[in-house]
Structure 1
Amino acid sequence: MSTAIATDHAPAPRARERGRVTQANVIRSEWTKLWSLRSTRWSLLAAVVAQGALGILVAAVQMNRWTHLSPHDRETYNSIDTGVGGYHLAQLAIGVLGVMIISSEYSTGMIRSSFMAVPKRLPVLWAKIAVFSSVTFVLMLVSSVVSFFVVQALSTQHHVQHAIGDPTALRVVVGTALFLTVLGVLATGIGALIRNTAGGIAFFVFLLFVLPGITAILPHTVGDSINPYLPLNAGFTVATSVFEDSHHLSPWGGFAVFCGYAALAVGAAMVGLLGRDA
């Protein structure tokens, strides 16, 4: 009788699993936190609109003004790069949000509750990266595909369109989503390392946008050797069909270098999480 009573009151296996600190449960928690913030929805909406609409807007203007464009502009027009050109603006929204998804928890003190629930700490970082990168990749891939096909439809009036099966087209469309995803991972690593929203965003902007401007004032022999390895220049290669400058890495080689920067930022954040108080 006592055995039967103990069995009746024992928690079900599924209930015990929900109460355990597993990576799946931490991911589920981070998913809830990500979508509970209004800033997240607005930032992702801005990224989707930028990635999906900017290229279409540029293509529409260029097609309407085709006869007013210079012969050089008409000759060098590339509907593949135009179709994914929205990443120039979308990267700002993705980068800022990547910093904020973890730095904002430090500013509010919520990170202490997260680490009390997950004492090992690193699963929290893995979960944030997994959730944010998955959402970013899906949204940016869909936006890139929509923009690409609409731009090609607009470009048919002057017969400068490309098919998705043309050389570099598919790689650029998918590569744009990959570039923005890794950019988000890099920004998340920076946010976890610096732990301050303003400081994290400032460092992100310096690393990706200010540093290339500094190298631009260096002698060409020096700048041409450094520029291809800067984070943004390396990452751009996988999202580019026609390069304006001959000094660049190969598409996948540059993307590998960019992934290395992201891995370095996440690795430094891991050391900080384990060695510093929240």
Structure 2
Amino acid sequence: MTALVPTVHSTPFTRAARMEWIKLRSLRSTAWALLLTVAGMVAVGVVTMAHTKAPSPAKAAVFDPTNNVLAGVALGQLVVGVLGVLVVTGEYSCGSIRSTLAAVPDRRTMLAAKAAVYGTVTLVVGEAVALVTFFAGRAALADGVPRPGIGDPGVLRAVLLAGAYLSLVGLLGIGIGALTRHTASAIAALVGVTFVLPAVIGGLSGPTVAKFFPTMIAGNSLAVAKPVADMLTPWTGFAVLCLYVALTLGAGARLLAHRDA
């Protein structure tokens, strides 16, 4: 008599995630975009720190070189966010979305798999590049400029949250891509939310409203070792960003479920 060995079946989400991972790593644009993110952030961090001068006694209390070295996050978020948009809209533009939906009929599962795979990849890359940027930029500081240590108060938290921010922006890109399903409009919306609106609203009303926009949260709440006046605290800013991601992905999943391919 042959013994029956129970077979472990993968779930629909697991199969969808495996498929999304294969698609993501097979695209040349993925590797190039992530390489650009790494090179750009490290270069900006090193150049910024190389030009950072020792603070005057009056400004020593608020001098935050950790925030300076993480300035490249502004470039990294653009690349990661646009790639997140393309993870969704690229399939619609070339028509391969029909094959994807044939393999994964549940559109919410499909979007969740895309978000999980891309979010994990960008989180790993984001944390790695934030750490590399910090140590490379620290080494570029001129003599006489206070060097931040990874164990100094607030420094490790700032570096790790800056890396996590890249992943959150990537997920925003996926959510916006799911909402519009059109590459140009999704990228325009992403750039508007992260760059244009904060600058315009900040110029009109100061930080009162602008401090709630992603880029302002990154630069003045997450990637700081010392608190910035009139801005959100680091963990409040992080919670607001997570809320934005949840709402955007939720709305995108809802629209995907009620639209034709």
Matched-pair identity in % = 37
Contact kept in structure 1, 2:45 and 2:70, CA below 8 Å: yes
Give the partner amino acid of 1:207: V
1:241 alignment partner in structure 2 = 225
Q: Which has the higher contact order (CA 8 A, sep 6+)?
A: 2
Contact kept in structure 2, 1:50 and 1:86, CA below 8 Å: yes
Gaps of 5+ in 2: none
Distance 2:125 2:207 in 1: 34
Distance 1:216 1:109 in 2: 40
Distance 1:73 1:121 in 2: 57
Alignment match of 1:271 (pick from 248, 254, 260):
254
Contact kept in structure 1, 2:227 and 2:233, CA below 8 Å: no
Distance 1:180 1:135 in 2: 10
Instruction: Call closer, same or farther: CA 1:214–1:241 in 2, change over 3 Å.
Output: same
Distance 2:218 2:139 in 1: 28
Give the partner amino acid of 2:23: K
Q: How does 1:1-278 map to 2 (within 5 A)?
A: 13=7, 17=9, 22-62=12-52, 66=53, 71=56, 75=60, 77-155=63-141, 157-218=143-204, 220=205, 223-236=206-219, 237-242=221-226, 246-278=229-261
TM-score (norm 1): 0.84
CA deviations on 1:115-167 (whole Å, 9 max, x unpaired) are 11111111111111111111111111111111112222333722410111101
Q: Which has the higher helix share?
A: 1
CA deviations on 1:180-221 (whole Å, 9 max, x unpaired) are 111111111001110011110001111111111221343x4x
Between stretches 223-232 and 265-274, larger displacement belongs to 223-232
- 2:211 is paired with a residue whose SS is helix
- Taking only aligned residues, the RMSD between alpha carbons, in angstroms, comes to 2.6
CA deviations on 1:238-262 (whole Å, 9 max, x unpaired) are 1223456x22111110111111111
Contact kept in structure 2, 1:207 and 1:231, CA below 8 Å: yes
Give the partner amino acid of 2:46: I
Post-superposition offset of 1:37 = 1.2
Distance 1:125 1:211 in 2: 27
CA deviations on 1:163-182 (whole Å, 9 max, x unpaired) are 11101100111010111111
Instruction: Call closer, same or farther: CA 1:22–1:228 in 2, change over 3 Å.
Output: same
TM-score (norm 2): 0.89
Post-superposition offset of 1:46 = 0.8
